[in-house]
Structure 1
C-alpha cells in the first residue's frame, strides 16, 4: 500500500534555518522512490487553523516513508526545519 507524508508549515520563525533545510533536504531523497505531489503550492484551508504551506510526498509503503523520515540525511535537514518553523507532519497509508 502506498503511503503519503504530509507536512504543514504553520508558522515560519527563522527563514535562514528554513533555507538551510531546503538546501539539505533533497539529499535525503536520493536513491528513494519518492513522488513529490505538492510542494508549497497554492492552497486554501477549509477547516482548522491557517497554514503557510504544505508538502505531500508519496512513497511505495509506510515502511519506506518511515525509513526516509528516520534517515540520518533527513534528520540532519529536519533539525533546521524544526529550528526555523512550526510544522505538523504525519504519514497516512493510501488505498492502493
Structure 2
C-alpha cells in the first residue's frame, strides 16, 4: 500500500494566529499518524512560482490522509488558519 502526502504552499499573514492553528492541528495529526517531512524550511523556487512556506506531511495511505483532512479535529484547526493565511493544499498518493 502506497503512502500518501499533504503538500501545502502557504502565505502566513498573521504569525500569532498561525501559531494557534499549528497548536490545534497537532491533535488531528497525532490521531491520524501524520509525520512532517517538510515544515517551512528554507526553499529556493527554480521554476514557476510558489508561496513562501511549504509543508509536506506523510500518512500511511491515501484514505488516512483524506480522513485526517475531513476530520472534525482538523476542520476546527483549519477554521483558525483560514483567516490568517492563504494557500494551496494537495493530497497525493505516493509512488510504489
Whether these two folds match at TM > 0.5 is: yes
TM-score (ref. length: structure 2): 0.88
TM alignment of 1:1-96, pairs within 5 A: 1-9=2-10, 11-96=11-96
Report runs of 4+ in structure 1 exceeding 3 Å deviation: none
Flag structure 2 segments of 5+ consecutive residues without an equivalent. Answer: none
Q: If the length of structure 1 is used for normalisation, what is the TM-score? A: 0.88
Whole-angstrom distance in 1 between the partners of 2:32 and 2:40: 21
Give the unaligned 5+ runs of structure 1.
Answer: none
- Count of aligned pairs between the two proteins: 95
For the 8 Å contact 2:51–2:87, the answer to whether it is kept is: no
Task: Quote the RMSD (CA, aligned, Å).
Answer: 1.3
